[in-house]
Amino acid sequence: MLKALRRWWQYRTGQAATPFDGEAPYYLFSLIFHVILVLALGSVFYHASGPPLLMLEQQPATELIEEIELTELAISDLPQEEIGDLGEAMDQGLQNEASTVALEPLSPVMEHQWIDDFGSTFAPDMDAILAAEEANPNLIVRGTSGVGVTGASGAVDQITDEILRACDQGPVLAIWLFDQSASLQPQRQEIKQRFERVYRELDEILGVTDPGKPLKLAPLLTQVYQYASGLEALLEKPSRDIDEVLSSFDAIQDDQAGIERTFAAIAQVVADNKTYLRDSTLSAKRKIMLLVVTDEVGDDRDLMDKTIDICRRAAAPVYVIGVPAPFGREKVQFKWVDPDPEYDQSPQWATLDQGPETLLPERLKLGFFGQAEEDLDVMDSGFGPFSLSRLAVETGGIYFTVHPNRQKTGRRVSAGETATYAAHINYFFDPILMQRYRPEYINLDRYQKTLKQYPHREALVRAAMQSNVGALVTPGLRFPKLDEAEFVNTVSTAQRAAALLEPQIEQLYAILITGETSRPRELVPRWRAGYDLAMGRILAAKVRTESYNAMLAAAKTRLKFEDPQNNTWQLVGAESIEVGSRLANLASKATEYLQRVVSEHPGTPWAMLAERELATPLGWKWQESYTQPPPPPGMNDNNNNNPPPPSDDRAMMLDRKPRRSPPRL
């Protein structure tokens, strides 16, 4: 450096012709070298200070990204390509290649068709609904299903918090939609009582009814609708008057037709209030929040995708105060008491559609030994019915599963304990634990693609869709051998019951076995539990039925009494399999599947069903005993006792109130 400065000073004082003085090539080389060195060091510094490398880790499907920014979606004029893709994280780390099962493809649901009997205004115009000068910049937050509460008032309290948070961002229009089903009458009254208190609190916080603030700028407006097969606004226009809103609750009428067009009502309500989605001379731009109160799934589930599309584009979250879906089932028994005290007040049972919790069936309809399928305990799935839950999740809302018996977690709830106007659900589970088993809230197309990618998933769904198999509900277990011919005939009759079941069980087993090779790659707890339970149960049914049949066949020729005084053979359960190594191997496999469900998924419906299956031995063995022969024909064995006189209930009937059957709910 000093040498360079000296050269430069000699040049300035005339002692040198140039500052390089014949050494220009060396200076040029040095300059180029140092420039390259500086650039290289700068590049290293830039990369070192940049963002850290992402560490990818395989996660179960339930670990979802809860907030996803979707541009050009909220109040957008652009057509939406596909509904149901908020759950892409479901497939993180699950992209292994898998061969598909050589079975016919699942049939898609029917094409969406709008029904126009709400009146001439129905069949909403998408462009009119979504007309806005600019897209809403808000993020669409993925919602939640399976928030369990014991009463509707608890859901109202949480919804109040949601309204407050929304009002922090700007004016809000809260729209309540009440299902007119007669079974919801108690819930409507409970909501009204809670509604008054929370709205008074909202008024104190937000100044909702402040007369000094123009109506257009009121932070919260409320509208109330009732719906069944039709839709009716109970307020002439959205109001900030709390008393006016409360009085509209009293105008809700029970509907006796039993038709609930929930999705059409929601879509129509967004259309009716589309002017609030943008600034106008009459209203300021508002966020619409839809608050639905219902105890059924809705009779127009084919409009689900279209309704989700409308609500998402309008950035309108849907909050549902609903009911829990029964685990893997569609229908439940509902406890109804006539609301008119002039009629009989004894409980009656009606059937309601409140499930299932998944898009397609994922649980076998398979009876337990000695128990018909319709007699099985109905269990809480931990979530609401799929269609309404998906609507809440994909619009950023919440589905609240309301049941008054929910606090009785961990034990069986009897029919007598079931609250009036509630479904008879025997078992409830920890809602926090059940969140690991949340269904995939995606559309049919994505769901089917997932099934094709994982053969064991497709096998489970196919078996569940085709299953409606009983069991050896009342199998013959005791066979007196008083007469050889009669004994053989009785055994043959019992064999026929098993022979009828064997092909049905074999068909389901043939479907499920196609997915066995891909099952070890499954990471999602719900699918792991579902497939393992199905395989364990179908194997158990196969072993019990075939070994029962084989034991009966052997009884016709091989059985000899050790005690010559005995005259009866009786089948009893046994842990060992006495009719061949093939069935013994299948029994061992069934036990392995079922025990894995119990150990990996404790405290869930899958574990409870597996434990019940394991409680009954898979094998059989013969025991001999003695049966008293019947008396000879003609012998009178009633000791000349006269039959009791028939009871006279006429006096009791005079005091009994008239009885009405439950309406269509």
Higher pLDDT, 317 or 249: 317
Q: Pick from 606, 625, 644: which residue ends a domain? A: 625
Higher pLDDT, 17 or 506: 506
Q: How many domains does the chain have?
A: 3
The whole-angstrom distance between residue 178's C-alpha and the CA centroid of its chain comes to: 22
Lowest mean pLDDT among 20-24, 30-34, 104-108: 104-108
Q: Contact at 8 Å (CB) between 226 and 181?
A: no
Residue 175, φ and ψ in degrees, nearest 5? -115, 120
Best CA proximity match to 326, nearest among 354, 298, 363, 348:
354
Q: Is residue 426 assigned to a domain?
A: no
Q: 400 - beta bridge partners?
A: 147, 321
Pairing mode of beta strands 348-353, 331-336: antiparallel
The whole-angstrom distance between residue 552's C-alpha and the CA centroid of its chain comes to: 43
Domain that holds residue 33: 2-48
Higher pLDDT, 590 or 570: 590
Lowest mean pLDDT among 70-74, 376-380, 585-589, 610-614: 70-74
pLDDT over threshold 90, residue 176: yes
* Same domain flag for 400 and 462: no
| pTM for the predicted model, two decimal places | 0.75
- The pLDDT value recorded for residue 6 is 56
- The pLDDT value recorded for residue 371 is 62
Share of the chain above pLDDT 70, in %: 71
Best CA proximity match to 418, nearest among 330, 337, 321, 524:
337
Q: What is the mean pLDDT of residues 536-557?
A: 89
- Secondary structure letter of residue 371 according to DSSP: B
Residue whose entry in the numeric block shows the structure tokens 């998944």? 358
Q: Pick from 352, 376, 406: which residue ends a domain? A: 406
Helix, strand or coil for residue 135?
coil
Q: What is the mean pLDDT of residues 330-343?
A: 84
What average pLDDT is seen over the chain?
76
Q: Is residue 15 assigned to a domain?
A: yes
* Same domain flag for 475 and 401: no
pLDDT over threshold 90, residue 119: no
Q: Which amino acid, 404? A: P
Q: Is residue 20 assigned to a domain?
A: yes
- pLDDT digits over 148-172, tens only? 666 677 788 888 888 888 888 889 9
* Same domain flag for 246 and 139: yes
- The pLDDT value recorded for residue 640 is 55
* Same domain flag for 468 and 560: yes
Question: Which helix or strand (DSSP H or E) is residue 178 part of?
Answer: strand 172-179
pLDDT over threshold 50, residue 320: yes
Q: What is the mean pLDDT of residues 173-197?
A: 84
DSSP-assigned letters across all residues of 208-257: TT-TTS-GGG-SEEEEEEEESSSEEESSSS-B--HHHHHHHHTT---BSS
Q: Contact at 8 Å (CB) between 138 and 315?
A: yes
Tell me the pLDDT band of 313, cut-offs 50, 70 and 90. very high
Tell me the pLDDT band of 644, cut-offs 50, 70 and 90. low
Q: Pick from 374, 406, 438: which residue ends a domain? A: 406
Q: Contact at 8 Å (CB) between 618 and 544?
A: yes
* Same domain flag for 169 and 260: yes
* Same domain flag for 539 and 614: yes
Please tell me the distance from the alpha carbon of residue 368 to that of residue 614, in angstroms, as a whole number.
11
* Same domain flag for 197 and 323: yes
- The pLDDT value recorded for residue 549 is 87
* Same domain flag for 43 and 160: no
Please tell me the distance from the alpha carbon of residue 579 to that of residue 605, in angstroms, as a whole number.
33
pLDDT over threshold 50, residue 407: yes
Higher pLDDT, 59 or 141: 141
Q: Is residue 334 assigned to a domain?
A: no
Higher pLDDT, 371 or 196: 196
Pairing mode of beta strands 287-293, 172-179: parallel
- pLDDT digits over 469-495, tens only? 665 555 678 888 888 888 888 888 888
Q: Is residue 89 assigned to a domain?
A: no
Q: What is the mean pLDDT of residues 69-95?
A: 36
Q: Is residue 496 assigned to a domain?
A: yes
Which among 152-156, 189-193, 444-448 has the top mean pLDDT?
A: 444-448
* Same domain flag for 270 and 151: yes
* Same domain flag for 475 and 390: no
- pLDDT digits over 274-305, tens only? 888 887 666 678 899 999 999 888 889 999 99
* Same domain flag for 167 and 25: no
- The pLDDT value recorded for residue 520 is 95
Dihedral of alpha carbons 186, 190, 196, 202, sign? negative
- What CATH number is associated with residue 317? 3.40.50.410
Q: For residue 281, how many C-alpha atoms fall within 13 Å in the half-sphere facing its CB?
A: 0
3-state helix, strand, coil in the chain (%, to 5): 40, 15, 45
Please tell me the distance from the alpha carbon of residue 398 to that of residue 72, in angstroms, as a whole number.
23
Pairing mode of beta strands 619-625, 568-574: antiparallel
Tell me the pLDDT band of 96, cut-offs 50, 70 and 90. very low
* Same domain flag for 566 and 479: yes
- pLDDT digits over 593-611, tens only? 999 999 999 999 999 999 9
- The pLDDT value recorded for residue 422 is 83
Please tell me the distance from the alpha carbon of residue 256 to that of residue 222, in angstroms, as a whole number.
27
Gyration radius from the chain CA atoms? 35
Tell me the pLDDT band of 458, cut-offs 50, 70 and 90. very high
Q: Is residue 356 assigned to a domain?
A: no
Q: For residue 80, how many C-alpha atoms fall within 13 Å in the half-sphere facing its CB?
A: 25
Q: Is residue 181 assigned to a domain?
A: yes
Q: What end-to-end distance do the CA atoms of the chain give, in Å?
A: 96
Tell me the pLDDT band of 537, cut-offs 50, 70 and 90. very high
Please tell me the distance from the alpha carbon of residue 401 to that of residue 324, in angstroms, as a whole number.
5
Tell me the pLDDT band of 120, cut-offs 50, 70 and 90. very low
- The pLDDT value recorded for residue 649 is 52
- pLDDT digits over 413-426, tens only? 888 888 888 888 88
pLDDT over threshold 60, residue 589: yes
Which among 405-409, 537-541, 625-629, 636-640 has the top mean pLDDT?
A: 537-541
